[in-house]
Structure 1
Amino acid sequence: MTTKLSAAALPTITTAATPAYDRATLTAGIVHFGVGNFHRAHQAVYLDDLFATGSDHDWALVGAGVRDADEAMRQKLKAQDWLTTVVEQEDDSSAARITGAMVDYLRPGEASAIIDKLADPAIRIVSLTITEGGYYIDPASQKFDPAHPDIAYDAAHIDAPKTTFGLILAGLIRRRAEGTQPFTVMSCDNIPGNGHVTQNAIVGLAKLVDPSLATWVKDTVAFPNGMVDRITPATSPREIGLLADNFGIDDAWPVFCENFKQWVLEDNFPAGRPALEKVGVQFVDDVAPYEHMKIRILNGGHATIAYPAGLMDIHFVHEAMENELVSAFLTKVEQDEIIPVVPPVPETDLGDYFALCQRRFANPKIGDTIRRLALDGSNRQPKFIIPSALDRVQRQQSVNGLSLVSALWCRYCYGETDSGAVIEPNDPSWARLTAQAKLAKSDPKAWLAMTEIYGDLAANPAFIAAFTNALTTLWDIGTKATLERYLADQL
């Protein structure tokens, strides 16, 4: 017997913690674009914890959809009064909680309603989790691409834009015209300097609309940088079933995640902010060291295990960590090549941080998939792997491990595992990546010809040589034997 999640059902639910505050007292202070699993397991959880202290009830969340696909999420959450069940799992424990920090979710495609809400003086923060690929960044230069058709459309139709950045800018334009203080724009995505990247996107779009508008945005709108962290897999029928079986709750879109969570933010919120320091958010003057650590060690580590595990038909991340070759490969690449080029982080031992990452990756309760880690490599490799490789070649240091990570990505994009199983499309640019991977089977340089991804690294002789050797070896002897050769320092 299960209980369908709803506000009315909360008093009857005894298997999960429920909101420790009266949701009727909440009023919106934040509009959030990208109401996915990570947001609901991270920012929404921190706010839920804060509201439970009895304070800051004027900082509730309003979701905003942009893509047509967002409507499915909206409908499921609407049917359960915007509540979400979050299941936090470790090896020896599982605990469910129901969060109530969201009070509304604006329908995707209804630009006027979204702009009206953004213009509301009560909204003082606009936050985003739109994935690394959602920022219209040129992969090689890591700069905003003003020529993208979506951006060109919004510049010509700023009163009825379609992108997140167009909607944010339209909201700012309204606030400027009405004399309302600008809201703070807060990115929660895994991008180095995510505040700067978001600022560049909105200022870049504003330049296409009106140069004076761009100057106003740059001078008056705050874009704090932040580092966010919590491993949060996609929801599948497996998770929905586990929630029903183990906790008796019928939630159409629950979130399963690890216990660990982290949020480091620059304290730059001129319009005000919730007192998130009360619930564990760390406010610092400079987020960059924390970002570098997380993106290169944790996210770079995910990329390191994703492609060899995928090629060896390993399904779950914890299973990859149980594989001696994959786990040893991760350790060697991290210790030999990634960690040595990560700048120091205040009061943090990088070796201890990596050990924590290893334990998190190995958590069998999470059910995180290799396919999720391998998703969208064309946007993730330039942020998670290539910068470390570039740092090393500039120092004339070995890139044998990082070039093998890149070669494994190329081999994965060929579209079949070592056993011959088909790898279904797993990147927005899959067709192009597959075509280049097929060319690279006989000519490895064809893969590096994607200079929009590899940038200056594509022309570096040391990286070219190491990548060529790695990819050739993968095709000659397969993933397992190549890892063995690398681990024996024979690659």
Structure 2
Amino acid sequence: MEKLSYQTLEKLGYDGYLLKEAPERVLQFGEGNFLRAFVDYFIDVLNEKTGFNSKVVLCQPIAPGLADMINEQEGLYTLFLRGFENGRKVNDKRVISCVSRCLNPYSEYETVLACAENPDLRFIACNTTEAGITYDPSCQFTDVPADSYPGKLTQFLYRRFEKFGKEAGKGFVILSCELIDNNGKELEKCVLSYAKQWNLGDEFLNWIKAENIFCSTLVDRIVTGYPRNEAAAICEELGYQDNIIDTGEVFGFWVIEGPDSLKKELPFEEAGLPVIICGDHKPYKQRKVRILNGAHTSFVLGAYLAGQDIVRNCMDDEVICGFMNKTIYDEIIPTLTLPEEELKSFAASVTERFKNPFIDHALLAISLNSTSKWKARVMPSLKGYVEKNHALPGCITASFAFYIAFYHGTSLTEDGMTAVRPAGDTYTVKDDKQILQFFYDHKDEDAAALTHSVCTNTEFWGEDLTAIAGFEKAVSGYLKDIEEKGAYAVMKECL
């Protein structure tokens, strides 16, 4: 079977959209599954629908990477977006042709820097993981390349400045996709720190600030990557060998914080793509964290104790799905600031995403580090609801009891804390060591005492949760009911 290439597609009579030649207007730090199923997909559609006419040159951020595999296929790969949409099963296939090549900075860094001298280059996209945007003072300007991503970016920007520093409009629009708060602004801070540390001059510092736009963004798409178990059968059906097939869910949403002028430069709206360019991405981030992530965190622990293992199956259970929906629509949405219809539309998409027949999303995988997740994703909705209604949200309060019950283990091991489900099977609770040690130390307490210990642990929550009127008593009552009747019965009673 021939490897995927433009010639192979021509031989097979492929009649889908392809863009073989175009200027490289986008540099992308990151060649992994997520960016190829998200940013590169959107750019590919922009090329087709609006004549954006841009190739993306990829730069792998760490030494072992996909550069060789990508270049062997001339930048081409097949993307499958699969899921549940508008009540029907979807499996969309697209050959992505916006990628020109992939560079390895550890063997060809001068080639990477030479891209800065390309007058057509305008956009830089990146996703170097949460750990990628860090300022490491040990990085030096003379390193080939700098170890940190912001260090590499500073070196790249300096080469651009040397070539085009006297020309207005030759800076970059930088689209940071890392999963940290204010990702673009944090990246800009790191770059400015390197520019100062390396004594690159005030003129360069001013150019960074005046000619470059560091956009904070919110990204939202579950990307499942290379379908290892299905790859051989997929390639057989495609008629060509594709070693970098990518898969993700149908849902995708991108919010870019930037000036209105970007809407003309990046015509996502014209292409009908789910990308918003606005002055403040935070309300959309709050919507995602509170509704999507908050829904996960508030129901999965109870659902697992009730005998479920996979998110999709929970959506087929009237009680569990009903509990989740009541949490979202009655207790979370009323605490948010975006228009209600927009919030409800997003909530409806969440239920469809959770039903995705192509993703076996394990509840235990979601349970990882639930302490910090509950604090970040659910606690703001609890406090917002109490502040607005002067009453407790029943489902959210019950979810805190599910959290305590889930963490009620029997023994500590290297892997985590061993606990037992009502059905008798064991599972492992995974969280920070000091958190697991705390629960182990309190494992012999009754429902009331354990609830008090957890609620008053200010190291977990940053505050004493017993200060919320009635919360401790309600959680203790739910926890006692979970022990006596089971999590499923508690969910049912919440409805």
Q: TM-score, normalised by structure 2?
A: 0.75
Asked if the contact 2:132/2:148 (under 8 Å) is kept, the reply is: no
Amino acid paired to 1:342:
L
Flag structure 2 segments of 5+ consecutive residues without an equivalent. Answer: 410-415, 445-449
- Counterpart residue identity of residue 60, structure 2: G
Which of 123, 126, 133 pairs up with 1:125?
A: 123
Partner of 1:140: none
Distance 1:200 1:45 in 2: 29
SS of corresponding position for 2:25:
strand
For 1:338, the aligned partner's letter is I
Residue 243 (structure 1) aligned to one of 229, 234, 237: 234
> Is 1:350–2:349 an aligned residue pair?
no
Cα distance in 1 between the residues matched to 2:10 and 2:253: 30
Q: Residue 51 of structure 1 corresponds to which residue in structure 2?
A: 47
Residue 197 of structure 1: CA displacement?
A: 4.0
Residue from 322, 330, 334 that aligns with 2:328: 334
Percent identity, please: 21
Q: Deviations over 1:61-102 (max 9, x none)?
A: 122222345x1x334333333222111224434232111111
Letter in 2 for 1:196: K
Displacement of 1:163 after TM fit? 2.1
The alpha-carbon distance between structure 1 residues 467 and 126, as it changes in their structure 2 partners (threshold 3 A), is farther
1:284 aligns with 2:278: yes
SS in structure 2 at match of 1:265: strand
Asked whether the equivalents of residues 37 and 234 of structure 1 are also in contact (C-alpha less than 8 Å), the reply is yes
What is the CA–CA distance in structure 1 between the aligned matches of 2:76 and 2:350, rounded to whole Å? 30
CA distance in 2, matches of 1:37, 1:402: 33
Instruction: Please state how far the C-alpha of 1:168 moved relative to its aligned partner.
Output: 1.5
Flag the 1:95–1:220 CA change in 2: closer, same or farther, 3 A.
closer
Secondary structure of 1:225's partner? strand
Question: Within 5 A, what are the aligned runs for 1:28-427?
Answer: 28-53=24-49, 55-57=51-53, 59-69=54-64, 71=65, 73-89=66-82, 90=84, 91-107=88-104, 109-110=106-107, 112-113=109-110, 114-118=112-116, 120-132=118-130, 134-136=132-134, 151-154=136-139, 160-180=145-165, 181-203=170-192, 206=195, 217-241=208-232, 243-244=234-235, 247-268=238-259, 273-280=265-272, 281-309=275-303, 314-345=308-339, 348-370=341-363, 373-374=366-367, 383-389=376-382, 391-392=384-385, 398=392, 400-401=397-398, 403-404=400-401, 407=404, 414=417, 418=421, 419-423=424-428
Q: Which runs of 5+ in 1 are unaligned?
A: 137-145
The code of the aligned residue for 2:123 comes to I
Residue 39 of structure 1, CA deviation: 1.8
Q: Partner of 1:141 in structure 2?
A: none
Instruction: Name the counterpart of 2:412.
Output: none
Give the letter aligned to residue 187 of structure 1.
Answer: S
1:485 correspondence with 2:477: no
Note the C-alpha offset of 1:358.
0.7
Q: Distance in 2 between matches of 1:408 and 1:200?
A: 42
**Residues in 1 aligned to 2:119 and 2:367: alpha-carbon distance in whole angstroms:** 41
Decide whether the 8 Å contact of 1:404 with 1:467 is kept in 2: no
1:362/1:467 CA distance change after superposition, 3 Å = farther
Whether the 8 Å CA contact 1:184–1:269 is kept in 2: the answer is: no
Task: Please tell me whether the aligned partners of residues 21 and 51 of structure 1 are also in contact (alpha carbons under 8 angstroms).
Answer: no
Q: In 2, are the aligned partners of 1:244 and 1:250 still within 8 Å (CA)?
A: yes
- The amino acid of 2:73's aligned partner reads Q
Residue identity in the other structure for 1:60 = K
User: What is the distance in 2 between the residues matched to 1:252 and 1:12?
Assistant: 19
Structure of greater Rg: 2
Structure-2 residue corresponding to 1:7: 6
**Offset at 1:41?**
1.9
Instruction: Specify the SS of the correspondent of 1:153.
Output: coil
Return the alpha-carbon distance in structure 2 between the equivalents of residues 480 and 160 of structure 1.
60
CA drift of 1:367 comes to: 4.2
**Deviation of 1:43 (Å):** 1.5
Provide the secondary structure at the position in 1 that maps to 2:486.
helix
Change (3 A) 1:316 1:102: farther
Secondary structure in structure 2 of the residue aligned to 1:5: coil
User: Which fold has the larger relative contact order, with Cα–Cα distance below 8 Å and residues 6 or more apart in sequence?
Assistant: 1
Equivalent residues of 2:465, 2:472 under 8 A apart: no
Shift of the alpha carbon at 1:186? 0.8
SS across alignment from 1:66: coil
Once residues 188 and 348 of structure 1 are traced to their aligned partners in structure 2, the CA distance between those partners, rounded to angstroms, is 27
Cα RMSD after superposing both structures:
4.3
